[in-house]
Amino acid sequence: MLLNIYSLIKTIFSFVIVICPLVIFHELGHYWVARWQGVSIESFSIGFGPALFQWKDKNGTIWKISPYLLGGYVKFLGDADPSGLTTTDSAIESSITNKKPWEKILIAFAGPFANYVLAFGLILCMVIMKGIPDANQPIIGTVSSSSVAKNFLFPKDTVLEIQDRPVQSFQDILSILQSTTLDKELDIKVYRDEKIVDVRLKSSKIPTHSKEVWKGNLGITPQCSWKKISEDQYFSSALNVFLEEIQKPLEIFKKSNISQLSGPLGIAQQARDILEYRDLGMFLLLMTSLSVALGFFNLLPIPLLDGGNILLSIIEWITGKHISHRVTQWLLWSSMLFLGGIFVYSSVKDLERYTFVKNILHYFYR
Residue whose C-alpha is closest to residue 118's, from 130, 129, 128, 110: 110
Residue whose C-alpha is closest to residue 15's, from 291, 352, 345, 264: 264
Phi, psi of 278, rounded to the nearest 5 degrees: 60, 45
Phi, psi of 212, rounded to the nearest 5 degrees: -65, 135
Give the integer Cα–Cα distance in Å for 104 and 324.
Answer: 17
Strand partners, 45: 64, 73
Of the listed 27, 103, 212, 245, which one is catalytic?
Answer: 27
Strand partners, 133: 226
The H or E element spanning position 345 is helix 325-351
Q: Where are the beta strands (DSSP E) in the chain?
A: 41-48, 53-56, 62-65, 68-76, 132-134, 140-143, 158-162, 165-166, 186-192, 195-201, 220-222, 225-227
> How many Cβ atoms are within 10 Å of 100's Cβ, its own excluded?
12
Give first-to-last CA distance, the chain, whole Å.
Answer: 20
CA angle 144, 285, 341 (to 5 degrees): 60
Helix 280-298 with 101-129: angle, nearest 10 deg: 170
Phi, psi of 164, rounded to the nearest 5 degrees: 65, 15
Phi, psi of 329, rounded to the nearest 5 degrees: -65, -40
**What per-residue string of b and e applies to 278-292 under the rule 16 or more CB within 10 Å gives b?**
ebebbbbbbbbbbbb
Active site residue 93: no
| 266 contacts: CB under 8 Å, gap ≥ 6 | 346, 349, 350
Residues assigned a catalytic role: 27
